[in-house]
Amino acid sequence: MLPKDNLPVDSLIKPENLLIVRTDRIGDVILSLPLAGIIKKHYPGCRITFLVRNYTKELVENHPYIDEVLTLNETNGKVNLKQNISAIKRYNFDSSIIVYPTFSTSLVIFLSGIRHRIGTGYRWYSILFNEKIYEHRRYAERHELEFNVNLLRKFNVFEEITPSNVKFDIPINLSSDNKVNEVLRKNSLDDKKPLVIIHPGSLGSSVDLPIYKFKELVELVINNTDFQVVLTGSRNERSLCEELVIDKKIKNFAGEFSLSEMISFVNKADIFVSNSTGPIHIAAALNKYTLGFYPKLLACSAKRWGPYTDKAFVFTPETECDKCSREQCKNAACMSSIQMPRVFAEIEKIYKLITNIGDINVRE
């Protein structure tokens, strides 16, 4: 296949010691993980290091295609330029992909003296990158993961990624798995019975399905299936999750798990149900059935941020809207138009499939 940006062959880069920068949130980091395996496929001798924030490092530790993990040095949320530059210089990277650019991290990479600096050509500080990719992500013309993979063009890598062939290779930590098993045992959860996780918060990353809609869905699941229902979220979302504890069988695990433990726990579930938030990408990466609620707002659209898996079911508002904005979506209560019986119908199909109740196609 010819290079899509028509670069002459002698300008293409062959990375030997690569730094991938992804210093934002959980879902963003997960949607960058496939880059490591793709690069190793084309350049098996390349050493790959990920630079992430401290709270997402458990996503990349022990990844089979990531050789080193660096954490961004910050004080009160501000990047420490001197400390980060000093730390990065020690590794003598020849190339860096700034997947998620901020001015501060881009400046760090520039001042670290990395020869090939790959990033978007559309930021005011793009002068700090000497290898630019010109794609406007805000128009959501493709999925975030596909945008990320397109950054590899500068390495003469042109992979056609789809939900059917993508590989996240997300690792399961043994000690975290043991901790989760103990929590499940103490809470009388049976690993032989089907389990659904409902995650009602999003920490403000999107426009959420109202909590009363989640409650309606929980009632349908409890009354019509034998699913074990577990609620997850951050420690600050525990009270939100508590509103969904409408039956003593429902367990509220919000704030109970570290990120590594959350990965292990999601791996034990059959279905993951949530708004647009990082953990839904964990579930997709682990090949779980995922049901997500997404506004029609372009910046939060499922086309760009939906779970990247063949097992995804996405629900959007049934109202008509034009030039939707976050404020308009909230004021019009668009997410309230999503009908929970329709959502439950998909859950019920999955339930029948995994419990061998009849012959059913979940995509019917």
Closest C-alpha to 181, from 173, 171, 191:
191
In a domain, 85, yes or no: yes
β 78-79/74-75 pair status: antiparallel
In a domain, 1, yes or no: no
Which residue has 């210093």 as its token pair? 23
In a domain, 314, yes or no: yes
Residue 151 near residue 135 (C-beta atoms within 8 A): no
pTM: 0.92
Structural domain span for residue 123: 9-155
Q: What's 306's domain CATH number?
A: 3.40.50.2000
Alpha-carbon distances of 340 from 211, 212, 264, 296, rounded to whole Å: 12, 10, 28, 18
d(Cα 230, Cα 198) in Å, to the nearest integer?
6
Total of domains in the chain: 2
CA torsion 336→342→346→348, rounded to 10°?
110
The tens place of each residue's pLDDT in the chain, 364 residues long, gives 444 444 444 457 999 999 999 999 999 999 999 999 999 999 999 999 999 999 999 999 999 999 999 999 999 989 999 999 999 999 999 999 999 899 999 999 999 999 999 999 999 999 999 999 998 888 888 999 999 999 999 999 999 999 999 999 999 999 999 999 999 999 999 988 999 999 999 876 678 899 999 999 999 999 999 999 999 999 999 999 999 999 999 999 999 999 999 999 999 999 999 999 999 999 999 999 999 999 888 778 899 999 999 999 999 988 776 566 556 555 547 889 999 999 999 999 999 999 886 444 555 5
In a domain, 167, yes or no: no
Q: Strand, helix or coil at 57?
A: helix
Shared domain for 78 and 184, answered yes or no, is no
Other C-beta atoms lying within 10 Å of the C-beta of residue 58 = 21
Residue 195 near residue 268 (C-beta atoms within 8 A): yes
